[in-house]
Amino acid sequence: MAEVYKGRFAPSPTGLLHAGSLVAALAGWLDARIHGGQWLVRIEDVDIPRCVPGADQAILQQLAACGMTPDGPVLWQSQRGDAYAAALQGLVHQGWAYPCGCSRKEIESAQAVARHSAAVYPGTCRDGLNGKPARAWRLNVQAVQAALGLPAITHWHDRRLGAQQQNVCAEVGDFVLRRADGLWAYQLAVVLDDAMQGVGHVVRGQDLADNTARQIVLQHALGLPTPQYLHTPLVLGADGEKLSKQNGALALDLQHPVQALNKAAQVLGLPTVNENTPLRQALADWTALQNRNPKAHPR
Ligand code: GLU
């Protein structure tokens, strides 16, 4: 029997949806529809200090106003702490996760000495804390790759961007699974939840593409399947940066959902629609969008 398509939209409730987030939501929703599959919504509220009270419900209302209601129960990451803890414990048992006692300052100075780029953790605590108290927990990427016979360079395919690759050790280093403030890191939560929800298709904004190789390494470490990925074009603010609250993104206007959906459709290269456009046409256009190389078709 063919596997049932399951996709998800995973907003962080740090504010309301805006024109940028609607693009990923619409793309995922259309992709699920065209595959005759299910589209789930997961509220990614692990970063509690950044969450805005009530934003989760408001986001669900915004989606509903656009005609996008999830095909299953909504999952809140804040209720998944036990699963995250169990997974971390498993990784520690395997010798694949270790405590890190470095402060941000210590990491920066170690990076300067090793001439590492600012994004790469230099592995200071990999072989022990040297008397420092444990702060964060990190994945020992090299140990995982060696034990499982994974290549140093993680190759993956994006349905829109094409062939992608990253050397996680060299370009990121041992990344955080549990933060120094005790909060669960996005990478661990997202990998566990995608697997638990049976998500085989991840459709999300292109700004997240850079996390994918890390997530693939972690999926291997946890014995979980790797979904297929599709990263959607970003909406840029007036300053040329990704649209965000900081550069003036306005919350979606619930009074005019079709207008908002049309703007999102335009970003995806779909023709604008009105209430009379058959959904079938929108789905056909969506199929044509896939595997389009954004470099060859700049938007
Ligand atoms: N929660 C993330 C965000 O709102 C999305 C994570 C994902 O789709 O993997 O940016």
> Which 3-state string (H, E, C) describes 111-167?
HHHHCCCCCCCCCCCCCCCCCCCCCEEEECHHHHHHHHCCCCEEEEEECCCEEEEEE
Question: Does the CB atom of residue 204 touch ligand 1 within 6 A?
Answer: yes
Q: How confident is the model at residue 56 (pLDDT cuts 50, 70, 90)?
A: very high
Structure tokens at 62: 């915004």
Is a pLDDT exceeding 70 seen at residue 144?
yes
Please give the distance of CA 196 from its chain centroid, rounded to a whole number. 15
Q: Which of 44, 77, 188, when mutated, tests ligand 1's pocket best, judged by the most ligand atoms within 8 Å of its CB?
A: 44
Q: Which of 161-165, 211-215, 225-229, 270-274 comes out lowest in average pLDDT? A: 270-274
Is a pLDDT exceeding 80 seen at residue 278?
no
Backbone phi, psi, residue 73, to 5°? -65, 145
The residue type of 39 is W
CA dist 19 and 229 (Å) reads 21
The residue type of 164 is Q
- Pick 284 or 131 by higher pLDDT: 131
pLDDT at 285: 65
pLDDT at 294: 46
Centre of ligand 1 to C-alpha 131, Å, is 36
CA dist 18 and 23 (Å) reads 9
Contacting residues for 62 by C-beta, under 8 A, at least 6 apart: 16, 17, 251, 252, 254
Atom of ligand 1 nearest to the CA of 8: 8
Interval 18-38 mean pLDDT: 93
Centre of ligand 1 to C-alpha 238, Å, is 23
Assess contact for 218 and 168: CB atoms under 8 A: no
Q: How confident is the model at residue 277 (pLDDT cuts 50, 70, 90)?
A: low
- Bridge partners of 132, per DSSP, are none
- Pick 299 or 17 by higher pLDDT: 17
Assess contact for 36 and 70: CB atoms under 8 A: no
**Closest alpha carbon to 228 in 156, 292, 284:** 156
Atom of ligand 1 nearest to the CA of 44: 1
- Pick 174 or 111 by higher pLDDT: 174
Assess contact for 265 and 27: CB atoms under 8 A: no
Interval 102-110 mean pLDDT: 83
Contacting residues for 10 by C-beta, under 8 A, at least 6 apart: 41, 42, 43, 44, 190, 193, 204
Centre of ligand 1 to C-alpha 8, Å, is 10
pLDDT at 295: 45
Q: Is 56 exposed, middle or buried (0-12, 13-18, 19+ CB in 10 A)?
A: buried
Whole-structure pTM value: 0.90
Question: Does the CB atom of residue 273 touch ligand 1 within 6 A?
Answer: no
Centre of ligand 1 to C-alpha 115, Å, is 31
CA angle, 122 then 125 then 127, to 5°:
110
CA dist 134 and 160 (Å) reads 41
Question: Does the CB atom of residue 77 touch ligand 1 within 6 A?
Answer: no
Please give the distance of CA 274 from its chain centroid, rounded to a whole number. 31
Centre of ligand 1 to C-alpha 27, Å, is 14
Q: Which of 107-121, 186-200, 251-265 comes out lowest in average pLDDT? A: 107-121
